[in-house]
Every structure is written in C-alpha cells, then in structure tokens.
Structure 1
Amino acid sequence: MLVADLRIFLAVAAAGSLSAAGRQQGLAPMQVSRRIAALEEELGVRLFHRTTRSVALTAEGEALLPYAQTMAEAEDSVLGELRPASKQVTGVLRLTAPSVFGQSIVLALLPRLLEQHPDLRVDLEVSDRVVDIVGQGLDLALRVAPLADSELVARRITDNPRVICASPAYLQRHGRPTCVAELEAHQCIVLQAVPRWPLLVDGVLHRQRVSGRVSASSVDAVRAAAVQGLGIAMLAYWDVYQQLREGTLVAIELADAGMEQLAVWAVMPTRRFVPARVRVFLEMLEAELSSLDQQ
C-alpha cells in the first residue's frame, strides 16, 4: 500500500470530488479514479460510494481515514527530519481555534508563517465549540478552556488566567468592586457557557453566582459589551489582552478572591510523527505569545 495512494484517498475524502482532488494532487480525474480503484482492489473493500456528482466514504473508508492520515503524517515527519534545514515546510496545516483567540492571535501570525513557508497552506476553523480533531482530520486544536479527560495529546503553550474587567466609563459611573460580596451590586455580563464565575477563595475553587442585565453566547459579544460600558465581565487574559493594553478595559482585583489559572493548550491526535508544519506553527505561536506578554 503506497502512501501516495493514501494521500489521494485523503484528498478525495476531504474534497468529496475526484476532479477537485485531482486538481490538488496535479492529476486528471481518470488517474485519481484508477488509483482509488487500485487501492480498493488491494484492500478488498469499497472505500467510496460514487455518483455522477459526488463521492462519499463508505464505512470501510471511514475506518481507513485515521490510519491513512497517520501514515501520511509519518512520511511528512520523516521527510522533514531528513531534508536539509533550508527545505520549506509543505502541505496543509489544518487547525481549529476559539473565535477570539483565532482572530486576534492566530490570524495575525499567518502572514509571517506563509511568507516564511510559501509552499504551506492553512485551513483554519474558528469556532468556540469543541471539535473532534481525529474525526475531522485536523492537525491540532488550540484550546483555552479547562481540558476534559482525553486520549489526545495536550501541550501547554502559555498561561491564560481569567480576568475580571470593565471599561473606565463603567467604573467611573458605578465604582470598582473590591471583594466578592460587592459583585452583587454590579451589572455582571454573563457568558452563557459560564453562568457562575469561578473564583479561588482561600485556595478553593468557588463558583460565584452573578447577574446583570446583559448576557451573551460568545466571548466576542461579552467583550464588546464590556468595552461599551454595559457591565463587568470575566474573560480569559488572551481574549482581552489587547483591550487591557489599550485601556478600553481595566482589570479588577478582588481582595478576598483570586482568578482561576487557565492556559492555552495545543491538542494533537498523537505525539508521534508530529508534522513539520505543526512544529513550525507552534514554535512561532509560542514566540509570539511570549513577545506580546512582555510588552
């Protein structure tokens, strides 16, 4: 079984079309069809349901998908190690990131990453939902929430503590809370996924009920509401670092409670055969976050 044939299989599975996969691989649709047919003959199973308009994976094709991805990544990793250091990184970096972090940090990195590696392509999904990176064939997921138990490999990138913050205008009108009890007298902007604010009281995690006239379903909306002076928000540091630096939001410290210490994590399907495209991206991301944190 040739890795080249598995790459064609992966391209067809991703594109849902023989012609689209052929364009990606530099092959005619007929060549793609023959290579897939040869792979099916070798394995003794049918990998795709074919119609005149599209192709779709069979159950056997779905089962082959993660193995094909692993073998393709293994080849990429070996070639990346053996090629001269000056060799450019190639392939498609497929990743997902939370919406605000992805837009403010990851997208800002891409021009420099792609300039340094002109043969690299990036497929970025920006979403606050937890994505099945194995099932979707992604290289990695960047996550800023507490990690659930998982068989995936998680690499810690940097600190990402929660921050209570508000706009200067709000604080001028309503004053600054100094302790947990005083939060009750303030308009707290609630992120619907986190209805209770996690606070460290005497070293123990306590989930404080808060309320206000505004709640929102996304981090971006909560942040925007806080900047507009609609209340006090609790968000992760890297979601508001730019606003804290610009002064459109001000951090609030409580005398009797500390903030939950979160982190930014890179979650990958396996620690073996990490593709060169993932390594160079994570190295650039770590350097960028370190630089921003020191400014």
Structure 2
Amino acid sequence: MVRTTRSVRLTPEGEKILEQGKKIKATMLDLDRNVHQEHNAISGSLRITAPILFTERFLLDICHDFKLKYPDIHFIIDSSYTNYDLNQDDFDLALRATLQPPQNIVAKELFSYQHCLCASPEYLAAYGTPQSINDLSSHHCLSAIETQIWPLKSADVVIKGWLTINDHHLLKQQALAGRGIVRVANYYVDRELQEGRLQTVLENEYIPGQSIYVLHPQLIYPSAKLKAFIAFAQERLASQ
C-alpha cells in the first residue's frame, strides 16, 4: 500500500493481488454452489435478483410455472434495482435492463422495450390528447422520483405535475384512475393498453429503449437448474 497523510491506496502490485482475490472468490462461490447440491438435478434453491417492475409483471409468474414443472425447486428473489456484482455476490442469476451488459458476465437478451406516455381514456376525454410536447405543460403529468425529466425525441421535458412518487405500481394506478399522464416501460402496461384501459400519446416522441438481459457468472460448470430456468424464461418471453 501507498500511504500519505491524507489517503491510503494500493500499489500496482496490490491492485493485481486484489483482482486475483476477486477471481478466487468467484471460483469458490462457483464450487460452493455445486458442492452443496446435486449438480445435474433440477432442485434446490435459485437465487435471483431482478427489477421490481419486471418481478411484478413477469418473474413471479415464470417462477410459479417453472415450479409446477420442477416441484423440487425453491426461489429466493431480491426484487430491487441494486446492481450486484454477480461474480462476488451469492446470486445464481440476475435480470437487468441495460444498454450494454458487463463484459465479465454471461448475458442473454430476453427482449427489448421502450418507455411510453399513457393515460386513461377518461382522462384524455376530459383534458384532451396532447399533440406535441409543448402541450404537456397544460396536462397533469405524474412522475416517478427518479424520472422527473422525461427524455423525448424533441427535447427533455421537466415534469411539474401534482404528484411525484417512488412507486411505479402506484403511479400506474393513478393513471388508470384518470388522474394524469405517466411515463412507464411499455411492458409494464401492455395488458392495460391491449384492454383499452390506457392509451398511448405522443408515440412519435419515444426514444429508443433498452433490453432486458438474463445475466449469470461465467461458471465452470453451470448447474442443470440454472440452464433449465434460463431456457424456460427465454421461451416464455420470446413473444415480448
């Protein structure tokens, strides 16, 4: 280590040792996963981390149906937006929305999506349908705390509606109740759009989206349950 009066940092040699240590830890996690289970059996626990919206819309149904096919499986799910290091943390796989998955991880694209603007037919009947982004200033635009600026093709729009909330499920419920326009991932409202309970607006303003990937560590011996679950999820989401 290099010490100064204000800081301590690793030498180049120390950095190499740290990286080697991370690789050793990842290998030990791989071995531990396989030693404590029947490697070729589709049974035991699968530890998954996934975004909250994806978990609600897809993952729980996929896990339930996989369980019907393989009764001896058990799921441990971290539903959050925490970006875990799969080579260091004890997860079998992750579902993540990203433009570019990490290079040191096995990544398989499940589907792509984009964010849409939508409102209920009742709201649009009462307040009119916006024809340009300039019209949004006269509408009730409801936003999530982390997305108070809506990136659109023509410009980024600062949202100053009556509600900003940290729960996308509640945000969708407000839109369904006819209380405003929301910006959400289109996969999260696909059923409501198909049923006509929500309608999209300003479709020509949507920017290119990103993709949902299934990620897992570069394992020496991927388990049968991991391979089976990934294949099952890919098949279920192929039509998205």
Q: CA deviation at 1:155?
A: 2.2
Q: CA deviation at 1:186?
A: 1.2
Does structure 1 conserve the Cα–Cα contact (< 8 Å) formed by 2:114 and 2:206? no
Matches within 5 A, 1:131-146: 131-144=84-97, 146=99
Does structure 1 conserve the Cα–Cα contact (< 8 Å) formed by 2:119 and 2:182? yes
Give the superposed CA RMSD: 2.8
Matches within 5 A, 1:164-203: 164-201=117-154
How far does the alpha carbon of each residue in 1:141-189 deviate from its partner, in whole angstroms, 9 at most, with x for none?
1123555766434321101111111111111111111222222221111
Q: CA deviation at 1:139?
A: 1.1
The alignment status of 1:288 with 2:236, answered yes or no, reads yes
For 1:172 and 1:283, locate their aligned partners in 2 and report how far apart those are by CA, in whole Å: 44
Specify the structure having the higher radius of gyration (Cα). 1
Q: Which residue of 1 aligns with 2:211?
A: 263
Q: Which residue of 1 aligns with 2:110?
A: 157
Identity of aligned residues (%): 22
Q: Which residue of 1 aligns with 2:17?
A: none
Could you say what secondary structure the match of 2:238 adopts?
A: helix
The alignment status of 1:243 with 2:192, answered yes or no, reads yes
For 2:214 and 2:142, locate their aligned partners in 1 and report how far apart those are by CA, in whole Å: 28
Q: Which residue of 1 aligns with 2:179?
A: 230
Gaps spanning 5+ residues in structure 2: where?
Answer: 1-21
For 1:271 and 1:111, locate their aligned partners in 2 and report how far apart those are by CA, in whole Å: 26
The alignment status of 1:106 with 2:55, answered yes or no, reads no
How far does the alpha carbon of each residue in 1:9-41 deviate from its partner, in whole angstroms, 9 at most, with x for none?
xxxxxxxxxxxxxxxxxxxxxxxxxxxxxxxxx
Distance 1:115 1:127, change over 3 A: same
For 2:200 and 2:105, locate their aligned partners in 1 and report how far apart those are by CA, in whole Å: 34
Does structure 1 conserve the Cα–Cα contact (< 8 Å) formed by 2:107 and 2:213? yes
Distance 1:207 1:288, change over 3 A: same
For 2:208 and 2:37, locate their aligned partners in 1 and report how far apart those are by CA, in whole Å: 37
Q: CA deviation at 1:68?
A: 2.3
For 1:228 and 1:283, locate their aligned partners in 2 and report how far apart those are by CA, in whole Å: 38
TM-score, reference length from structure 2: 0.79
Distance 1:149 1:119, change over 3 A: closer
TM-score, reference length from structure 1: 0.65
**Aligned equivalent of 2:164, options 199, 215, 237:** 215
For 1:165 and 1:105, locate their aligned partners in 2 and report how far apart those are by CA, in whole Å: 20
Does structure 2 conserve the Cα–Cα contact (< 8 Å) formed by 1:186 and 1:231? yes
Residue type of the partner of 1:211?
K
Higher helix content, 1 or 2: 1
Q: Which residue of 2 aligns with 1:83?
A: none
Tell which has more relative contact order, 1 or 2 (C-alpha 8 A, sep 6+).
2
Does structure 2 conserve the Cα–Cα contact (< 8 Å) formed by 1:178 and 1:254? no
Q: CA deviation at 1:211?
A: 2.1
Q: Which residue of 1 aligns with 2:81?
A: 128
For 2:80 and 2:130, locate their aligned partners in 1 and report how far apart those are by CA, in whole Å: 32
How far does the alpha carbon of each residue in 1:207-231 deviate from its partner, in whole angstroms, 9 at most, with x for none?
3222210111122122122111221
Distance 1:254 1:118, change over 3 A: closer
How far does the alpha carbon of each residue in 1:34-74 deviate from its partner, in whole angstroms, 9 at most, with x for none?
xxxxxxxxxxxxxxxxxxxxxxxxxxxx9975332212456
Could you say what secondary structure the match of 2:147 adopts?
A: coil
For 2:146 and 2:126, locate their aligned partners in 1 and report how far apart those are by CA, in whole Å: 28
For 1:117 and 1:216, locate their aligned partners in 2 and report how far apart those are by CA, in whole Å: 39
**Aligned equivalent of 2:227, options 270, 279, 291:** 279
For 2:24 and 2:55, locate their aligned partners in 1 and report how far apart those are by CA, in whole Å: 30
Could you say what secondary structure the match of 2:221 adopts?
A: coil
Q: Which residue of 2 aligns with 1:71?
A: 31
How far does the alpha carbon of each residue in 1:73-95 deviate from its partner, in whole angstroms, 9 at most, with x for none?
56799954xxxxxxx51231110
Distance 1:110 1:75, change over 3 A: same
